[in-house]
Amino acid sequence: MARKQQKEISEHVDLVHGVLYGCLKQIREASKSNNDSEPGLISVWCCEIHPSQTQKLASIIRDYVTPKDEISLSHLKRFLKSDAEVPILKTVFCSALFLSSEADVRDFISEYSTIELLKVYLIEVPRYAPSTKEISQQWSARYWPISWKGNPNHQFLNNVDFDIKRGKEIVRTLFDELQSNDYDSRSVSIFTKQNGEILCKTSYNGSNDPYDHSIMKGIEEISLLEKKSRNRNDGEDSNYLCQNLTVYCSHEPCVMCSMALVHSRIGRIIYLKESLGSGGLESNYQLGDRDGLNWTFEIWKWIEPTDVSNLDAIVSHGHQMTNY
Amino acid sequence: MSDLTPDFIEMAKCLFVGYKALTINETPVSCLLEDRSTSSIISIGYNYTNTSLNGTKHAEFIAVRKLKDKNPDIDFSTVKMYVSVEPCIMCASFLRQLGIGEVIYGCSNDRFGGNGTVLSVHSDSNLPQENYTSYGGILRTEAIQLLRNFYIQENESAPQPKIKKNKEIENKTFPPNRFNLSREEFIDHYGVERIGVFESGEEEITPKLGKGYSLKEFIDLKSLKDIPYLEEDLGVVTEDQVNEFLDLFFDISDDGKVNYSKAIRKFNSKKRHLEE
């Protein structure tokens, strides 16, 4: 299985640097990539049951926990046989964020089935999958059996669905907007569907009014488009906020705008220039790729060298402390 | 000893604005903007995300928009915000960029709080613009209870609404009272005589130390009708609404603890629709 995946690796993927097509650099929280020595741990509910109940509990986990638990536990084996004389099965049921007390766990399970829960207690397990098989084995011995399926980020990078030709066209459009003489635009955002269809283009003129930021204007435009479409179609094909849209930006958005994109549930952001003082992605907080908030999105930086130097030439008057 | 009654009066009005938002199926998070020199209310805001289909239409954005429309050159350092729930990370950055004078909030925002609970956007000196001061804990349990009255309703606009459990909110207790403040900051704002509230985590701030309160001491029909923008935005304020609102909350005893012996009600939007 692992060997087969090796063969499928495409030339456009640079696994070491997290770069696709030489244009898109993955921006991630450092703790997620450098977790090799000590894993970050998270509390999960462990239930002990009689082995005959395995199927029932497995289907509750599959149907009612996995789709809704914000903490993905797919890197863990769910069931562990105990060596005790009386056979019991230990289960990682859900995260402590999903259900907060033992009573809640018991109530939750009893809503769906009559499984006798011998014991319910909290245990600590690694939050993320390890990056190598050796570490996987160490963690399995120390915490809880890990289900090794290869480096999860390598798998992610190999499976990113991105139309690079369309991406380059949209970046061209971004430059066209930025250089348009119609208005004094310091930064530009373009909201697109997953298929690359442009929904709106917005710009920010550098005023000190946060409502003028291109992201806030774009989110507003999307909501107005949705209102119009719902009025036309009587609610058919309705979309929720900006769910799973891709947003292209000339600049890393400020903290306000980055969090606005979390609230709006976008799928992916691609930006060109970092905003070292004010940005809410790589510069501060890594919003969008952060545990505990109820939504995450992919963060990519467009690093195509010609585009980067062109942008630097255009926006040289920009100030590091400007909020975009 | 400091008397915090003025803060409680403003926050009680603020919570009523949230209650009015609840009647139009919005999350009951609300705010008031006050002119710091005259202590008069100059704008109000309430969550408007469901109606607008825009996840950024939080109370803070609505209130500031109104104020800027009327007074585009307002200096926000002269403005104080009362907000029922700690501003989220987005709103905390927004208020920082505006240069808000001061923020007073009710309960903390465990999921998204940007004034100390999840991140400290208000006091992170790495960010541009100045830090601003922020204090929580005024009508904390009431703000939580109002939110609980929303979360037992089904949010039909969210995809796949989660199964709502535990609708017995009339008997639910409250989480410990934690301030996003250092000991010194707490004393500076609330006074050294209230340090017991800071240390125990099981008492509420009261207007006067050693004396409990009931929400009805702070508001009446007239004072609520006088809140600017409220009736034009969210409909006429009636005596029945004021009574229903007051019935949603426990009183606080002289020892600062919630008095669970009062029978409280819960907001029922379905019943409301039938009656109309």
The reported pLDDT for the residue numbered A130 is 87
Contacts of A46 (CB under 8 A, 6+ apart): A90, A91, A92, A93, A119, A120, A121, A122, A123
**Catalytic residue chosen out of the listed positions B26, B34, B60, B142:** B60
Task: Pick the closest to residue A214 from A244, A249, A183 (CA basis).
Answer: A249
Q: What is the mean pLDDT of chain A?
A: 89
Highest mean predicted confidence (pLDDT) among A61-75, A143-157, A240-254 = A240-254
> Mean of the pLDDT values across residues B76-80?
98
Condensed to tens digits (0 to 9), the pLDDT of residues A179-222 reads: 886 666 789 999 999 999 999 999 998 888 999 999 999 999 99
Name the token pair of B150. 């929303």
Shortest Cα–Cα distance, A28 to chain B (Å): 18
Amino acid at A101: S
**Distance between CA A112 and CA A297 in Å, rounded?**
32
Choose between A68 and B95: higher pLDDT. Answer: B95
The reported pLDDT for the residue numbered B96 is 98
Q: What is the mean pLDDT of chain B?
A: 92
Condensed to tens digits (0 to 9), the pLDDT of residues B143-197 reads: 999 999 998 876 555 555 555 456 788 888 999 999 999 999 999 999 999 999 9
pLDDT band at A234 (very low <50, low <70, confident <90, very high): low
pLDDT band at A1 (very low <50, low <70, confident <90, very high): very low
The answer to whether the CB atoms of B165 and A107 lie below 8 A apart is yes
Task: Pick the closest to residue A296 from A270, A322, A264, A271 (CA basis).
Answer: A264
Condensed to tens digits (0 to 9), the pLDDT of residues B203-236 reads: 999 999 999 999 999 999 999 999 999 999 999 9
> Mean of the pLDDT values across residues B30-36?
98
Confirm whether B60 is a catalytic residue.
yes
Highest mean predicted confidence (pLDDT) among A137-141, A224-228, B136-140 = B136-140
The answer to whether the CB atoms of B56 and A255 lie below 8 A apart is no
Chains A and B form CB pairs within 8 A to the count of 91
CB burial of B222-257 (b: ≥16 within 10 Å; e: otherwise) equals eebeebebbeebbeebeeebbebbbebbbbbbeebb
Q: Is the pLDDT of residue A4 over 90?
A: no
Contacts of B66 (CB under 8 A, 6+ apart): B43, B44, B45, B229
Instruction: Name which of B77, B123, B127 to mutate to probe chain A: the one with the most chain A Cβ atoms within 10 A of its Cβ.
Output: B127
Shortest Cα–Cα distance, A208 to chain B (Å): 8
Choose between B265 and B168: higher pLDDT. Answer: B265
pLDDT band at B270 (very low <50, low <70, confident <90, very high): low
Q: Is the pLDDT of residue A316 over 80?
A: no
Sign for the CA dihedral angle at B185, A258, A151, A244 comes to positive
In A40-146, beta strands by DSSP E? 41-49, 79-81, 89-95, 119-126
Residue A19 touches partner B, C-beta closer than 8 Å: no
Q: Shortest CB distance from B53 goes to which of A108, A223, A323?
A: A223
> Mean of the pLDDT values across residues A99-108?
91
* Helix, strand, coil fractions of chain A, as percent rounded to 5: 35, 20, 45
The reported pLDDT for the residue numbered A235 is 59
The reported pLDDT for the residue numbered A125 is 94
> Mean of the pLDDT values across residues B127-141?
97
pLDDT band at B276 (very low <50, low <70, confident <90, very high): very low
Choose between A297 and A38: higher pLDDT. Answer: A297
pTM of the model: 0.87
Share of chain A above pLDDT 90, in %: 62
> Mean of the pLDDT values across residues A113-120?
91
The answer to whether the CB atoms of B56 and A227 lie below 8 A apart is no
The answer to whether the CB atoms of A323 and B97 lie below 8 A apart is yes
CA dihedral (A140, A144, A147, A150) in degrees, to 10, reads: -50
Choose between A159 and A36: higher pLDDT. Answer: A159
Weakest-pLDDT range from A36-50, A267-281, B61-75, B150-164: B150-164
The reported pLDDT for the residue numbered B208 is 96
Q: Is the pLDDT of residue B273 over 50?
A: no
Q: Is the pLDDT of residue A128 over 50?
A: yes
Contacts of A7 (CB under 8 A, 6+ apart): none
CB burial of B116-127 (b: ≥16 within 10 Å; e: otherwise) equals bbbbbbbbbeeb
> Long-range contacts of range B261-264, CB-CB < 8 Å, 24 or more positions apart?
B263/B170, B264/B145, B264/B170
Contacts of B93 (CB under 8 A, 6+ apart): A254, A255, A256, A259, A280, A323, B114, B121, B127
Residue A237 touches partner B, C-beta closer than 8 Å: no
The answer to whether the CB atoms of B54 and A223 lie below 8 A apart is yes
State the angle between helix axes of A305-314 and A164-179 in degrees (0 to 180), rounded to the nearest 10: 10
Residue A139, number of CB atoms within 10 A of its CB: 22
**Distance between CA A152 and CA A3 in Å, rounded?**
15
Residue B111 touches partner A, C-beta closer than 8 Å: yes
The answer to whether the CB atoms of B54 and A241 lie below 8 A apart is yes
